[in-house]
């Protein structure tokens, strides 16, 4: 049985198809982004203004819309975008890219995420406020539209270095201690902002998140599954744990929403789970690490820079306070995962159209390099797992028992412990 062909990840130039003779009513309901709105038979989540250089519509800015559909819609249906400004509107044909590769799993029996790109007509491109609705027929009215998140006023030259994004956390148990240490580690390594999407979290965990929302640059985004899926907390948790292929597809939507929320404000977006941390080896922070890598690859337009993975299992740690979990573990697996397995990447907001869990997926133009890799002497990704992942079951014994000392966090330990202890004291967490 052959492998399904891969879809293209770079788009050729496409013609802007505008319908000039449409007469449309302005929608009565302008919905906030990050709320599911059904349009054109699909579930729309968010919409972003995008004026980055690209090969698809090289002479037009665009609205990038993140959606979920019950089956694949790329190359199968036509979607039309009704773009409204304060005083005008435009109807154009949308361009659909599925945020998935058939080679990973070709089955078309799941809800799948897609990016719909709506080119903005030159005659309305200067507008500061926009909303958009989707239809399957030209010139068709829609009762609802979604507000477009526009470009902030700050100039491109003021982009910060790194924004960190976390998928929809879903924990019935209290994870506040682990999460507190992990958040502090991101800021210690130079993340400017952290965005955490979540389904269900305990009151204790919310208390930690509220602290960082108030005192640090932390975004907390409540998340629900699209209509047609369970959203009662326990039922939803059971559904996600028992439907791994669907869960993987659902995760891609908040990843890409987070990526688009930072395309104008940060140079790189780092997608991480809260049991993972990327440690700079030669430098003290992400910014210096990235700038050094860029200087070594000056001839490339980078898409994503990946860090190779090593595992850390709980049986290896020495006893410290429970909110110093990561720095207490002084052992790691000797084996470093091969390139392409378990790695996580910094994705460039200047060259990338969509992101996958581990790397950039769609590129904005052909002249962009494939994923590059840090050397082990430059950065390492520590992956704190409670047990050996099922994907690596054939080598679990080696991963769990062939161990070496891990000193990668030693030079950060004192500073990190002080930061964590300060927050623990301020929040009144019992030691």
Q: At how many degrees (to 10) do helices 203-215 and 176-188 cross?
A: 20
Predicted confidence band at 2 (pLDDT cuts at 50, 70, 90)? Answer: very low
Name the token pair of 227: 């209509």
CATH 3.90.550 fits 156-427, yes or no: yes
CA 353 to chain CA mean position, Å: 12
Distance CA 287, CA 293 (A): 10
User: At 6, is the pLDDT very low, low, confident or very high (cuts 50, 70, 90)?
Assistant: low
CB 54, CB 98: distance < 8 Å: no
Contact in structure between 412 and 419 (CB atoms under 8 Å): no
Q: What is the pLDDT of residues 34-51, one digit of tens each?
A: 999 999 999 999 999 999
Whether the Cβ atoms of residue 123 and residue 90 lie closer than 8 Å to each other: yes
In angstroms, what CA-CA distances link 371 with 124, 125, 153, 304, 348? 36, 33, 31, 5, 10
pLDDT band at 320 (very low <50, low <70, confident <90, very high): low
For residue 108, what pLDDT band results from cuts at 50, 70 and 90? confident
Strands 218-222 and 266-271: unpaired
Residues near 421 by Cβ (< 8 Å), separated by ≥ 6? none
* Model confidence band, residue 5 (pLDDT cutoffs 50, 70, 90): low
Check whether 1 has a pLDDT greater than 50.
no
Average pLDDT over residues 319-333: 84
Q: Contact, 261 vs 149, CB < 8 A?
A: yes
* Extents of the domains making up the chain: 29-147, 156-427
Residue 118 has pLDDT above 70, yes or no: yes
Distances (CA, A) of 63 to 42, 121, 156, 256: 17, 11, 18, 14
Is pLDDT of 11 > 80? Answer: yes
pLDDT in tens, 126-169: 899 999 999 999 999 999 999 999 999 875 568 999 999 999 99
Instruction: Give 107's pLDDT tier (boundaries 50, 70, 90).
Output: confident
Q: What is the pLDDT of residues 332-347, one digit of tens each?
A: 999 999 998 999 999 9
Q: What are the start-end ranges of the H helices in 158-262?
A: 176-188, 203-215, 233-242, 244-260
- Cα–Cα distances (Å) from 157 to 160, 286, 349, in that order, read 9, 19, 13
At 75 the pLDDT is 81
Q: Are the CB atoms for 167 and 197 separated by under 8 Å?
A: yes
In the predicted model, is pLDDT for residue 396 greater than 60?
yes
The pLDDT assigned to 317 comes to: 52
Mark out the alpha helices in 321-430 (DSSP H runs).
325-328, 396-401, 410-427
pLDDT band at 321 (very low <50, low <70, confident <90, very high): low
Which pLDDT belongs to residue 303? 98
- Alpha-carbon distance of 261 to 269, in angstroms, equals 10
**Exposed (0-12), middle (13-18) or buried (19+): which is 272, by Cβ within 10 Å?**
buried
Structure tokens at 269: 């977006």
Q: Does residue 251 sit in helix, strand or coil? A: helix
pLDDT in tens, 262-306: 999 999 999 999 999 999 999 999 999 999 999 999 989 999 999
Is the pLDDT at 109 greater than 90? The verdict is no
pLDDT of residue 93 exceeding 90: yes
Tokens of residue 203, six digits:
């009151």
Supply the mean pLDDT for the chain: 93
Burial letters 125-149, b for 16+ CB under 10 A, else e: bebeebbbbbbeeeeeebebbbbbb
pLDDT tens, position by position, 47-89:
999 999 999 999 999 999 999 999 988 888 999 999 999 999 9
Q: Which residue has the higher pLDDT, 195 or 321?
A: 195
- DSSP helix/strand/coil, 222: strand
Residue 299 is classified by DSSP as T
Which pLDDT score is estimated for 164? Answer: 99
- Asked whether residue 319 carries a pLDDT value surpassing 60, the answer given is no
Show the CA angle centred on residue 326, arms to residues 321 and 328, nearest 5°: 55
Going by pLDDT thresholds of 50, 70 and 90, the confidence category of residue 104 is: confident
**% of the chain with per-residue pLDDT over 70:** 96
What is the percentage of the chain residues whose pLDDT exceeds 90?
85
């Amino acid at each position: 049985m052959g492998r399904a062909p891969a879809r293209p990840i770079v788009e050729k130039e496409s013609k802007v198809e505008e319908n000039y003779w449409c007469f449309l009513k302005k929608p009565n309901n302008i919905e906030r982004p990050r709320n599911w709105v059904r349009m054109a038979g699909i579930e729309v989540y968010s919409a972003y203004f995008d004026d980055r250089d690209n090969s698809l519509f090289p002479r037009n800015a665009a609205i990038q819309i993140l959606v979920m559909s019950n089956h694949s819609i790329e190359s199968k249906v036509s979607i039309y975008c009704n773009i409204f400004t304060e005083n005008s509107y435009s109807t154009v044909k949308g361009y659909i890219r599925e945020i998935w590769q058939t080679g990973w799993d070709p089955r078309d029996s799941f809800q799948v995420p897609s990016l719909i790109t709506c080119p903005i007509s030159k005659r309305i491109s200067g507008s500061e406020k926009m909303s958009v609705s989707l239809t399957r027929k030209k010139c068709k009215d829609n009762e609802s539209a979604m507000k477009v998140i526009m470009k902030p006023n700050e100039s491109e030259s003021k982009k910060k270095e790194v924004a960190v994004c976390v998928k929809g956390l879903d924990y019935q148990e209290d994870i506040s201690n682990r999460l507190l240490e992990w958040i502090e580690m991101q800021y210690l390594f130079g993340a400017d902002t952290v965005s955490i999407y979540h389904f269900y979290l305990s009151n204790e965990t919310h208390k930690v998140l509220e602290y960082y929302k108030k005192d640090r640059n932390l975004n907390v985004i409540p998340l629900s599954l699209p209509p047609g899926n369970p959203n009662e907390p326990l039922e939803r948790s059971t559904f996600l744990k028992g439907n791994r292929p669907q869960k993987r597809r659902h995760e891609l939507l908040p990843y890409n929403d987070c990526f688009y929320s930072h395309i104008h404000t940060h140079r790189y977006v780092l997608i991480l789970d809260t049991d993972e941390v990327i440690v700079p080896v030669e430098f003290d922070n992400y910014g210096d690490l990235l700038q050094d890598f860029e200087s070594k690859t000056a001839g490339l337009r980078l898409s994503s820079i990946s860090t190779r993975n090593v595992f850390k299992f709980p049986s290896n740690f020495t006893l410290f306070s429970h909110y110093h979990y990561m720095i207490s573990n002084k052992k790691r697996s000797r084996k470093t995962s091969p390139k392409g397995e378990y790695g996580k990447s910094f994705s460039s907001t200047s060259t990338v159209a969509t992101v996958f869990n581990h790397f950039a997926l769609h590129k904005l133009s052909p002249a962009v390099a494939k994923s590059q890799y840090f050397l082990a002497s430059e950065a390492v990704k520590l992956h704190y797992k409670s047990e050996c992942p099922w994907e690596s079951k054939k080598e679990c014994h080696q991963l769990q028992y062939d161990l070496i000392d891990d000193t990668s966090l030693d030079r950060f330990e004192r500073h990190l412990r002080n930061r964590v202890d300060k927050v623990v004291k301020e929040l009144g967490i019992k030691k």
